């Protein structure tokens, strides 16, 4: 029943918008009473929290699955690229989860902290991979969090466009993913170069 509630709520949230969906509407969709939902969830925000938690947990599991086996050497940049590809492919394989988690603005504070905690864990994992990919994070000519957020924004942009504009004449998906990932990590590779100007347009010190 819990699975039925989550699946029905996810579809309704995406189709009709979070604010327009009530517990009564979710219950009617699966043929239960609203009171039955309270046996599994505190309220509508709790349901959304659980959906977002599933998204983060699924991505982390997919990213870890793609990690090189224990004892197999791999360059930090290769690990970062594998993680970015996992993020893109997971988002495209689960568009409803992705839309609710990353493309729907919150309309009310969530009572539970699971979404925030696992989101911070996912961001922290990406940040650590970006730091490891910099040849010298202490001398990098760009702030570590700026670099992390630029890369995250790059892959998020591709996922969002492919989900929101499915009928556009996109080129082969594999080529798009490869281009965005290599572009992001290539840019990161220049972050320590003396020729890279600061983001504010000033001259390098």
Q: Which one has a higher pLDDT value, 57 or 110?
A: 57
Cα-to-chain-centroid distance, residue 141: 26
What are the structure tokens assigned to 191, written together? 């972050």
At 20-46, the pLDDT tens digits run 899 999 999 999 998 999 999 988 888
| Complete DSSP assignment for 37-82 | HTTT-SSHHHHHHHHHHHHHHHHHHHHHHTSPPTT----HHHHHHH
Could you report the per-residue pLDDT of 137-188, keeping only the tens digit for each?
A: 555 567 889 999 999 999 999 999 999 999 999 999 999 999 999 999 888 8
Q: Where does residue 50 rank: exposed (0-12), middle (13-18), buried (19+ CB within 10 A)?
A: buried
What residue segments make up the domains of the chain, in order of their start? 1-41, 44-189
Q: What is the pTM of this model?
A: 0.77
Model pLDDT, residue 205: 41
The matching CATH number, chosen from 1.10.3470.10, 3.30.310.50, 1.10.150.120, 1.10.10.60, for 1-41 is 1.10.10.60
Per-residue pLDDT, averaged over 8-21, amounts to 89
Among 138, 30, 159, 36, which Cα is nearest to 92's? Answer: 159
Are 9 and 51 in contact, with CB atoms under 8 Å apart?
yes
Q: Find the radius of gyration of the CA atoms of the chain.
A: 20
Distance between CA 49 and CA 58 in Å, rounded? 14
Residue 112 φ/ψ region, left for φ over 0, alpha for ψ in the -120 to 50 degree band, beta for the rest = beta
Q: What is the pLDDT of residue 161?
A: 96
Sign of the Cα torsion 46, 51, 52, 57 reads positive
Task: Give the pair of three-digit tokens for residue 24.
Answer: 């009564």
Of 27, 34, 33, 38, the C-alpha closest to 4 is 27
The C-alpha atoms of residue 118 and residue 11 are separated, in whole angstroms, by 22
Per-residue model confidence as pLDDT tens digits over 64-120: 777 766 666 678 888 899 999 999 999 999 898 888 888 876 655 554 566 677 778
Spatial CA neighbour of 86 closest among 105, 53, 60: 60
Q: How many residues does the chain have?
A: 205
CATH code linked to domain 44-189? 1.10.357.10
The rounded distance, in Å, linking the Cα atoms of 184 and 150 is 8
Give the confidence band of 122 by pLDDT, cuts at 50, 70, 90.
confident
Flag whether pLDDT at 124 surpasses 70.
yes
């Amino acid at each position: 029943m819990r699975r039925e509630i989550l699946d029905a709520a996810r579809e309704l949230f995406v189709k009709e918008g979070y604010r327009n969906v009530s517990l009564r509407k979710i219950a009617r969709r699966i043929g239960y009473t609203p009171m039955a939902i309270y046996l599994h969830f505190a309220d509508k925000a709790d349901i959304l929290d659980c959906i977002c938690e599933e998204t983060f947990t699924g991505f982390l599991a997919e990213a870890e699955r793609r990690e090189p086996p224990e004892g197999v050497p791999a360059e930090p940049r290769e690990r970062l690229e594998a993680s970015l590809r996992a993020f893109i492919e997971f988002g495209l394989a689960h568009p409803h989860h992705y839309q609710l988690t990353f493309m729907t603005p919150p309309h009310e504070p969530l009572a539970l902290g699971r979404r925030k905690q696992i989101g911070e864990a996912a961001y922290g994992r990406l940040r650590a991979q970006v730091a490891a990919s910099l040849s010298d994070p202490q001398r990098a000519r760009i702030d570590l969090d700026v670099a992390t957020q630029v890369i995250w924004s790059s892959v998020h942009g591709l996922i969002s466009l492919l989900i929101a504009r499915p009928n556009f004449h996109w080129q082969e998906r594999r080529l798009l993913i490869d281009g965005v990932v290599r572009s992001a990590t290539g840019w990161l590779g220049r972050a320590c170069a003396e020729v890279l100007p600061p983001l504010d347009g000033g001259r390098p010190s």
